[in-house]
Chains A and B, each alone.
Chain A
Amino acid sequence: MTRRFLRNLALAALLSAYAAVSAAATPAFKAGVFDPPRQAPDFALQGSNGQPLRLSQYRGKVVLLAFGYSHCLSVCPITLHTIAQTLRQMGTAAAGVQVVYVTVDPQRDTAAQLKAFVGSFDPRIIGGTGTEQQLAQVRKDYGVTATRIPDGNSYMYDHSSSIYLIDRVGRIRALMPYGHTPDDFTNDLRILQGE
């Protein structure tokens, strides 16, 4: 009787330990996660490299999709700096990641302007531009807001600052709010790359 009790106790302890280790080993996203994930809407824009840019051409890679504009003085430089640090931090694994930065300001962000802007952070980042209508459609598809605000003789944009994480089969898996660190991005990109 005592032996059976001890055996059951040991079994329960083993199962508890296994459950605890499994829970600890399950990687947790730092970003917000969608359930169920939906297919990321494709788009056809002009790339900052002078080539056509389609999201679907990056199937097989994990994509970070960000929205902003090159004249942004606050959010975008910090976002792109964080992403550039993430790519450096990931080393060779960054080859499996593509960063796509879509402008909300087609009037000023030509392909050349975007190339110079994103390239100043990391040349692996690709910018996307297009007509006002094309970009408005992309924003609508992703629920991105961009409001033009007069600023003296110029203007600025109040725009969404979160970044979409799209997995290798083209599904929107997560959304990283503004303010996260390169460690957080690296954590989530590694989870998606490991799938």
Chain B
Amino acid sequence: MRTRTWVLIVVAATLMVALTLGAMTPLHSASREHIFVIPKGTWARRMAGEKVAILPDHIHLTLGLRDILVLKNQDEVPQIFGPTLMMPGQSFRLPFDRPAQYQFACTAHASGQMTIVVEAYPSTPVARISWRARALARAL
């Protein structure tokens, strides 16, 4: 057999193994909390004209894996952070238990809105592959 054929066989086999592992390996998360922090000095930086992005426009959560949004204000002034006003040193822990898209008014965003997308737990092999692919795409 030619070298090229062998390479194709190895690539196909690797792909098959990766897909099988992706489909069959259970998903787990070390923590169910997705934490966002307003660091100390954020307000001062904004007042100085710096654009400081803390929360993304879209936050993706998955039930059973990472389904608790935690917001922490470590700055020295109150902040409108996501859906709420938070005092300095305060944290806000918001659990989700239904898959849906949640819209929140948020003055920290240029659009004035923040969207939290909560997905169902991927319980089937196809759903696990799809979930892993989307997570990889977001990470990249």
A-to-B contact residues, CB < 8 Å: 28-36, 38, 142-143, 145, 147, 158-160, 162, 175, 177-179
A36-B90, A38-B87 known, 19 other contacts, Cβ within 8 Å? A32-B69, A32-B93, A33-B92, A33-B94, A34-B90, A34-B91, A35-B91, A35-B92, A38-B90, A142-B85, A143-B78, A143-B80, A145-B80, A147-B112, A175-B83, A175-B94, A177-B83, A179-B98, A179-B100
What are the residues of chain B within 8 A of A32 when measuring CB–CB? 69, 83-84, 92-95
> Residues of B within 8 Å of A, CB-based: how many?
23
CA distance A95 to B93 in the complex (A): 28
Shortest CB distance A82–B (Å): 14
* Number of interchain pairs (Cβ within 8 Å): 58
B-to-A contact residues, CB < 8 Å: 69, 78, 80, 83-87, 89-95, 97-98, 100, 102, 104-105, 107, 112
Q: Is the CB of A143 within 8 A of B85?
A: yes
Cβ-closest chain B residue relative to A31: B94
Q: Is the CB of B93 within 8 A of A33?
A: yes
Partner of B83, one of A29, A35, A38, A160: A160
What are the residues of chain B within 8 A of A177 when measuring CB–CB? 83, 94, 102, 104
Cβ-closest chain A residue relative to B68: A32
CA distance A194 to B93 in the complex (A): 21
What are the residues of chain A within 8 A of B69 when measuring CB–CB? 32
Cβ-closest chain B residue relative to A37: B90
Chain B at the A interface: mostly helix, strand, loop or mixed? strand
Q: Is the CB of A145 within 8 A of B94?
A: no
What are the residues of chain A within 8 A of B105 when measuring CB–CB? 145, 158-160
Cβ-closest chain A residue relative to B98: A179
Shortest CB distance B21–A (Å): 32
What are the residues of chain B within 8 A of A147 when measuring CB–CB? 112
CA distance A160 to B105 in the complex (A): 6
What are the residues of chain A within 8 A of B104 when measuring CB–CB? 162, 177
CA distance A147 to B107 in the complex (A): 12
Cβ-closest chain A residue relative to B107: A145
CA distance A161 to B97 in the complex (A): 19
Q: Is the CB of B83 within 8 A of A179?
A: no
Partner of B92, one of A28, A30, A34: A34
Q: Is the CB of A30 within 8 A of B84?
A: no
Cβ-closest chain A residue relative to B80: A143
What are the residues of chain B within 8 A of A162 when measuring CB–CB? 83-84, 104
CA distance A195 to B123 in the complex (A): 38
Cβ-closest chain B residue relative to A38: B87
CA distance A158 to B104 in the complex (A): 11
What are the residues of chain A within 8 A of B89 when measuring CB–CB? 36
**Which of B83, B89, B97, B112 has the most CB atoms of chain A within a 10 A radius of its CB?**
B83
Cβ-closest chain B residue relative to A36: B90
Cβ-closest chain B residue relative to A181: B98
What are the residues of chain B within 8 A of A38 when measuring CB–CB? 87, 90
What are the residues of chain A within 8 A of B97 when measuring CB–CB? 30
Cβ-closest chain B residue relative to A143: B85
Q: Is the CB of B84 within 8 A of A143?
A: yes
